[in-house]
Amino acid sequence: MKFIGSLFLALILFFSMPSSFAVEEKTTIRVGISNNNFSSYAHDKAVFILPVNSTIIDLEDDNSRIDVKGGGLVEVKIINGVFNINVNSSLIVRNSKGPVIITSPDKIGIKGLYRKGEPAYYRGMIELNKVSLYRFNIINVLDMQSYLKGVVPNEMPVSFGIEALKAQAVAARNYANRPNNASNYYDTCDSTSCQVYFGANSEHDLSSAAVDKTLGIYALYEFEPILAQYSSTASGITESYINTYGNGKIDKPYLTSVKDNDDVKYTNNEDEIKEFFKENVPSFDMKSPRHRWTVEFDRFELEDVLNKTLIEQSKAGNVEPYFDKDKEFYGLEDIKILQRGDSYKALVVEVKSASGDYKIKKELPIRRTFKKNNSALYSANFSVEKEYKKLSRKELKEIKKKRKLEEEKLKEKAVFNNEETKEENITVKLMPQLKEEKIIDGRKRVYKTKLGRNLPDKFIFFGAGFGHGVGMSQYGAGYLGSYGVDYENILKYYYRGINLGTLPKTVSYNNIGLNYIQEFHFETKDKEKEKFENPNRSPLKKELKRLLKQNENLRCYLIVENPNKASNIEFYINNYQFSPDINIFTKKNLKTDITEYLNNGYNKIIFKPLTEKDKNKTVKFYIEIGEK
């Protein structure tokens, strides 16, 4: 162990920064486990597979313990609000109100439950909580790192590479550390409603390494963990939070629109926007199969869809005027985008029809309104083209002949009734008579507008991207990582104005000598030993080189907040001990570069508790990764 005294004084830099950090880091997490199709988190029975010696704890019965020698099958049922548990066909727990805990030094399986086609196994322990007389929750309680190893490979393909996976690991850690909002019994769920968590059998060596190599690291804005939103493909321009989830009112400054390609110019022209969606414009996520896409609807097909989805979205408050089951939608004439976001995302769409005009608001409701094969549109970044049926010469000849006969009849009638016979009057009177209607399979089919114009035969959506497009584009992260952009700078590219670092530890006095420990990973890379793609071969080489240049100056800083001026602060950075009599720590805020004291990888900082002299004071410390 090395003792650092005056040498450390010469390295200290001071900055003025606010005391903050209301969020304490979660070291464990509670995950609700759903059924095979993720439709329910309430179970009436379950069979758990215990590979080795395990323990069942009945919390109702004074934490009574039941050892399961050699493992086996544990069958749990709940009837009339009480648990009955069989171990290897022998009843061992009767009429327990729970909760019940199942622990094992090995993974715990759930018979009949599958994730990615494999039997579901989980690290940590299983907790069973009654939610009704005949249903209970299955909750996996485990440490944060193990949880993230079951998340990252299911939220991002491991083929995207280590740097993209590390960026995903940080984003997932941020998400997991948010305030509990999934259930009264668990912090988060295991499906796309939260983060996809498939447990131990879904882990992969590369994604697990990404979790380990970002140990303790969070994305922070003004010293608070950010809402690290991400989606598959942003199509070259990410969307601003205020336009989507913020409903035009709530802003998150770090979730603002980011444009990949410097040559792309923003426009309000609908024709230019349509061309942007049609062309394969180079962007960081251009390797995504949803970078550009086309979805085509037959008009009658789309009318049938709208008859259902307008009801659904009206109930959710996203359609004006209200559309209910007593109404029928027919005669779709046009689809207009009335408002777009910063990425040209549709935020307000109007459908115009013979049955009425309706406005749909918000990104996800819009995607769910225009469903194809019962699936929402890939994104709300789209333009719409109408296609009209092309008539043969014979059909056109018949229409002209029919129209001429109708006109002659109207003229004869006008002369007989002594009415004006101006051509425009004849045309106006003729138009409503040309409107055609049929009832097919109980649906009204209209072929012309009220003014006699032909209705479109097809509607073609030209779109870009997959998902909400806010925050990090996962395909974009994969592209950047393949050229050697560090995960730190991938995150800083998509989340503007952020820093990376640890969450704070609060140090106080205690009479049992309890230390305050912060573990984190900081890595110095040897670029010459790593193989990346050549940025000169990319159509975005200018943008890539700018990001790669930012890789070069990353440093690690220790920040100590001492607002009450505690007088004796003693801590260790790995094997370096820092003297408690350094009076410079009496300052309120300190920031110092500690890179030279760090290992290339795992690091640990230990703060000793404050002395009795400072028993009514506290100190906070945390790490920040930034440029020199």
What pLDDT, in 10s, does the model give residues 340-385? Answer: 999 999 999 999 999 999 999 999 999 999 999 999 999 999 999 9
**How does the average pLDDT of the chain come out, rounded?**
88
What pLDDT is recorded for position 430? 42
What pLDDT, in 10s, does the model give residues 471-526? Answer: 999 999 999 999 999 999 999 999 999 999 999 999 999 989 899 999 999 987 65
Structure-derived torsion over alpha carbons of residues 346, 352, 355, 357, reported in degrees to the nearest 10? 60
> Which residues, at least 6 apart from 413, have a Cβ–Cβ distance to it below 8 Å?
419
What pLDDT is recorded for position 619? 92
Residue 151 has pLDDT above 70, yes or no: yes
DSSP annotation string for 501-543: EPPPEEE-B-TT---EEEEEEE----GGGS----GGGSTTHHH
Measure CA 305 to chain center: 27
Q: How many helices (H) and strands (E) does the chain have?
A: 13, 37
Taking the C-alpha atoms of residue 166 and residue 215, their distance in angstroms, rounded to an integer, is 10
> Which residues, at least 6 apart from 381, have a Cβ–Cβ distance to it below 8 Å?
235, 277, 343, 344, 345, 346, 463, 464, 465, 469
Q: Where residue 408 falls among pLDDT bands split at 50, 70, 90?
A: confident
Q: Where residue 75 falls among pLDDT bands split at 50, 70, 90?
A: very high
Whole-angstrom CA distances from 156 to 144, 219, 304, 377, 493 are 18, 18, 35, 20, 18
In the chain, pLDDT over 70 holds for what percent of residues? 89
Cis, bond preceding 321 (omega within 30 deg of 0)? yes
What pLDDT is recorded for position 428? 42
In the chain, pLDDT over 90 holds for what percent of residues? 70
Whole-angstrom CA distances from 597 to 2, 527, 573, 574, 623 are 10, 21, 7, 7, 13
Taking the C-alpha atoms of residue 462 and residue 469, their distance in angstroms, rounded to an integer, is 16
Residue 139: HSE in the Cβ half-sphere, 13 Å Cα cutoff: 22
What pLDDT is recorded for position 33? 97
Q: Where residue 396 falls among pLDDT bands split at 50, 70, 90?
A: low
Q: Where residue 23 falls among pLDDT bands split at 50, 70, 90?
A: low
Domain ranges of the chain: 2-21+505-627, 28-215, 297-380, 393-446
Largest Cα–Cα separation, the chain: 115
Taking the C-alpha atoms of residue 223 and residue 2, their distance in angstroms, rounded to an integer, is 31
614: helix, coil or strand? helix
What pLDDT is recorded for position 404? 76
What pLDDT is recorded for position 22? 52
What pLDDT is recorded for position 526? 55
Strand partners, 591: 13, 559
Taking the C-alpha atoms of residue 505 and residue 21, their distance in angstroms, rounded to an integer, is 10
pTM: 0.87
Residue 468 has pLDDT above 80, yes or no: yes
**Segment of 113-122, 444-453, 588-597 carrying the highest mean pLDDT:** 113-122
What pLDDT, in 10s, does the model give residues 566-592? Answer: 888 889 999 899 875 555 555 677 888
Whole-angstrom CA distances from 161 to 165, 405, 487 are 6, 71, 11
Q: Minimum mean pLDDT among 232-236, 335-339, 566-570, 619-623: which range?
A: 566-570
Residue 11 has pLDDT above 70, yes or no: no
Domain 2-21+505-627 in CATH 2.20.25? The answer is: no
Taking the C-alpha atoms of residue 168 and residue 166, their distance in angstroms, rounded to an integer, is 5
CB 47 within 8 A of CB 111: yes
What pLDDT is recorded for position 429? 44
What pLDDT is recorded for position 9? 35
Taking the C-alpha atoms of residue 391 and residue 398, their distance in angstroms, rounded to an integer, is 11
What pLDDT, in 10s, does the model give residues 438-465? Answer: 777 778 888 888 777 889 999 999 999 9
- Quick one: average pLDDT of 88-107? 92
Q: Return the residue matching tokens 């069942």.
A: 56
DSSP 195: -
Q: Where residue 596 falls among pLDDT bands split at 50, 70, 90?
A: very high
